[in-house]
A and B are shown apart, each in its own frame.
Chain A
Amino acid sequence: MSLLKYESQIREPLVDGNKDYHQVTEDIIRPIEMKPTRLWYIGFYISVALLLFGVYSIYREVTYGIGQWNLTKTIGWGWDITNFVWWVGIGHAGTLISAILLLFRQGWRTGVNRAAEAMTIFAVMCAGQFPIWHMGRVWMAFFVLPYPNSRGPLWVNFNSPLLWDVFAISTYFTVSLLFWYSGLLPDLATVRDRAKTKLRKLLYGVASFGWTGSTKHWQRHESLSLVLAGLSTPLVLSVHTIVSFDFATSIVPGWHTTIFPPYFVAGAIFSGFAMVQTLMIILRKVFMLEDYITLGHIEAMNKVIVLTGSIVGIAYITELFIAWYGQNPYEWYAFKENRANLFSPYGWSYWLMMFCNVVSPQMFWFKKLRRNIAFTFFMSIIVNIGMWYERFVIIVTSTYRDYLPSSWSTYYSPSIYEIGFYLGTFGLFFTCFFLFAKYFPVIAVAEIKSILKTTGESYKHKMTEIEKADSEKFYIEEVEHAH
């Protein structure tokens, strides 16, 4: 009897090609040990340039104040909080892949979890920038922390969703970072033990914390990962729930709805998976990892996109229905005139959002399209544009007309520094991601090895032999005997 449980041939292999353990190490670690390609440098420099423009935009904002942004009397959040919610949402897919799919025992997560978790961490870093710099007097940012102070002590308001957000985002960032790095330790040790240069030995030696691969350590590591996954699952749901509370606990028409928490969480996972697709399609090509991030992986993620996209669609329609059914004149006006009316100042953004998030992902019901890389890449961009507009619609169309018509804003368009700040976070995100892809194993090497012999292409053939032997044995013992 074999100790290994081979997966059925019907299931698509998760690792293509004829690989052994050493080949897996070679394939994934080699890009770290080589000089970066010209493409890497071009991408990296563009990211750094964007980042620097973002830094300049923030410099303007801090020096001259929030007036550098075109926020108006009623649109106090504008692009800034739109971007915040968008980036936080992007982060959610990483945790979903690493935590929820671990609990559901989905083998395909091993191909994409490492890069998706990195994406989570960088996305949350970007998201955090927006509320912090929105404070204006950013040197007072530490006032959000509850500590005994000389101002009374005057405490923060624990009943406010904005403070819940401080706790939610910082906890989310910390836990994601710990989860990601504890998973990285064994792989960093692999890089360390292969290292040829002194510097590499030193740096990866420090970074891998002296990991040996002892069985007892693996046992604790497995238990740790499982519990961290169990903690991250409700955590990720709570984070976007709390972000939605920023809106839902107010009495602004269009925000004051109880559907927000599930609707935001589904939207977050939806946009996050789109971003994972964008990154993975580039990553597998640039680092030649097509054997590990297969078409099967891309298809699986597209299935998640069509599911969450449909949940988001139902949420939009429910929200619209309840606004009419509830017969609150202000609520209904916000939906009917500010959003659904195509000829109102922001009607176009509502219908753009509807098209990108509800109509376009339905294309993924077709298997051909789910497995089409170019189409998937195109769709991932569309979905991310759509999800950005969702937050824009929620924030701007609800606030540009308030209860006092004399203060209605005619039109809000962002200033160059508002846009620059957003572009700057793209710079931050991609700078981090390029550095990560250069210096860290982008696929969880140890985890791939642990599924290799059950789902690797070259090992699955053995399953056929076992099945054949089994059925012959069954025939000889049971069927023939009965006759």
Chain B
Amino acid sequence: MAGGIKKFVVGCFDDEAVLFPAVKKVRRAGYKIHDVYTPFPVHGLDHAMGLRETSIHTAGFIYGIAGTTTALTTISWIFTKDWPLNIGGKPHFALPAWIPITFELTVLFAAVGMVLTFCYLCQLSPFIKKHHFHLRATDDLFVMAIECTDKTNDAEVQAFLQNAGAKEINVQHAETGWWIGRYDREQKLYRD
């Protein structure tokens, strides 16, 4: 899904201790950080960037409850209504014996649901391709992409990033969304 082509000033940092103050400076200066790409989860960076807390765990809770309900309603319907089995004259509604399966389905629904939600929210799937601002963002660089508008003076932004400690700075035109593609093929979605 194309999100449109935009212009970015990209600054690469090689130390998270430099990145944090840089993020704060850039935000204070009023520039819009499109995203910061890091090789590992840098704790506190989401707060520094002013990102909202994720509510994926709430989704997980709801999926879990759905699993519990599915198990209990299905089993009780089968064993009390659809085909009541006489097992040694014991009650048809044998709740304690259903706890293991109920628990397993709770976990299964929560886990599968959460992973699918995670993939949906982050647009992760085989054959999905996105623009990568720097290949070393998955290796050892912390890559900050600043979105430019018509009014942005990108030379000024570049100087700003230089000042904030970026090791490598460039300007890129990039597609912001995702598209169907393969990583072994060059794919141009736009004409200059």
B83 pairs with A245, CB closer than 8 A: no
A211 contacts chain B at the CB level, 8 A cutoff: yes
Cβ contacts under 8 Å, B36 to chain A: 214-215
A245 pairs with B100, CB closer than 8 A: yes
Which of B3-11, B146-154, B177-185 participates in binding chain A? B177-185
Cβ contacts under 8 Å, B110 to chain A: 227, 231
Cβ contacts under 8 Å, B49 to chain A: 215
The CA of A446 and the CA of B43, in the complex, are separated in Å by: 13
B40 pairs with A446, CB closer than 8 A: yes
Closest beta carbon of chain A to B110's beta carbon, Å: 6
A190 pairs with B17, CB closer than 8 A: no
A199 contacts chain B at the CB level, 8 A cutoff: yes
Cβ contacts under 8 Å, B101 to chain A: 158, 163-164, 167
Which of B50-58, B155-163, B164-172 participates in binding chain A? B50-58
The CA of A2 and the CA of B49, in the complex, are separated in Å by: 19
Cβ contacts under 8 Å, B37 to chain A: 212-215
Cβ contacts under 8 Å, A216 to chain B: 35, 46, 51, 54, 122
Cβ contacts under 8 Å, B119 to chain A: 209
Cβ contacts under 8 Å, A73 to chain B: none
The CA of A235 and the CA of B67, in the complex, are separated in Å by: 14
A174 pairs with B46, CB closer than 8 A: no
A190 pairs with B138, CB closer than 8 A: yes
The CA of A209 and the CA of B103, in the complex, are separated in Å by: 31
Known: A158-B78, A204-B183, A215-B51. A167 touches B83 (CB 8 A): no
Closest beta carbon of chain B to A271's beta carbon, Å: 23
Mark each residue of chain B from 101 to 128: 1 if its CB lies under 8 Å from any CB of chain A, else 0: 1011101101110110011011111111
A206 pairs with B127, CB closer than 8 A: yes
B183 pairs with A158, CB closer than 8 A: no
Cβ contacts under 8 Å, B42 to chain A: 215, 218, 450
Our pick among B17, B40, B75, B115 for the contact of A158 (Cβ within 8 Å) is: B75
Which of A18-26, A39-47, A132-140, A344-352 participates in binding chain B? A18-26
Cβ contacts under 8 Å, A195 to chain B: 183
B189 contacts chain A at the CB level, 8 A cutoff: no
Closest beta carbon of chain B to A105's beta carbon, Å: 12
Cβ contacts under 8 Å, B107 to chain A: 171, 175, 231, 234-235
Cβ contacts under 8 Å, B75 to chain A: 158
The CA of A183 and the CA of B54, in the complex, are separated in Å by: 18
A217 contacts chain B at the CB level, 8 A cutoff: yes
* A182, A220, A234: residue with the most chain B Cβ atoms closer than 10 Å: A220
The CA of A213 and the CA of B39, in the complex, are separated in Å by: 6
Cβ contacts under 8 Å, A126 to chain B: none
Cβ contacts under 8 Å, A211 to chain B: 124, 138
Mark each residue of chain A from 252 to 264: 1 if its CB lies under 8 Å from any CB of chain B, else 0: 0000000000000
B51 pairs with A193, CB closer than 8 A: no
Our pick among B20, B104, B127 for the contact of A238 (Cβ within 8 Å) is: B104
Closest beta carbon of chain B to A4's beta carbon, Å: 7
Known: A158-B79, A213-B38, A216-B35. A227 touches B56 (CB 8 A): yes
Question: Chain A residue with minimal CB distance to B87?
Answer: A159
A194 contacts chain B at the CB level, 8 A cutoff: yes
Closest beta carbon of chain A to B133's beta carbon, Å: 8
The CA of A164 and the CA of B64, in the complex, are separated in Å by: 18
A210 contacts chain B at the CB level, 8 A cutoff: yes
A171 pairs with B182, CB closer than 8 A: no
A194 pairs with B112, CB closer than 8 A: no
30 of the cross-chain contacts (CB-CB < 8 Å) are: A25-B139, A146-B74, A158-B98, A159-B94, A159-B98, A171-B107, A174-B111, A175-B111, A182-B115, A186-B39, A192-B138, A193-B138, A201-B183, A212-B132, A213-B39, A214-B122, A215-B36, A216-B46, A216-B54, A219-B41, A220-B118, A224-B115, A226-B57, A227-B110, A231-B64, A231-B111, A235-B107, A238-B104, A447-B40, A450-B41
* B interface residues (Cβ-Cβ under 8 A, vs A): 16-17, 20, 35-46, 49, 51, 54, 56-57, 60, 64, 74-75, 78-79, 82-83, 85, 87, 94, 97-98, 100-101, 103-105, 107-108, 110-112, 114-115, 118-119, 121-130, 132, 135-140, 143, 178, 182-184
Other A-B contacts than A158-B98, A210-B178, A215-B36, 18 sampled, CB-CB below 8 A, are A3-B16, A20-B140, A22-B140, A158-B79, A163-B101, A164-B104, A174-B112, A182-B118, A193-B139, A205-B183, A207-B126, A209-B124, A214-B36, A215-B38, A218-B45, A224-B118, A446-B41, A450-B42
* A interface residues (Cβ-Cβ under 8 A, vs B): 2-4, 20-22, 25, 146, 152-155, 157-159, 161, 163-164, 167-168, 171, 174-175, 178-179, 182, 185-186, 189-190, 192-195, 198-199, 201-202, 204-207, 209-224, 226-228, 231, 234-235, 238, 242, 245, 446-447, 449-450, 453
Q: Which 6 A-B pairs have the closest CB atoms?
A: A205-B183, A21-B140, A210-B128, A209-B124, A202-B184, A201-B184
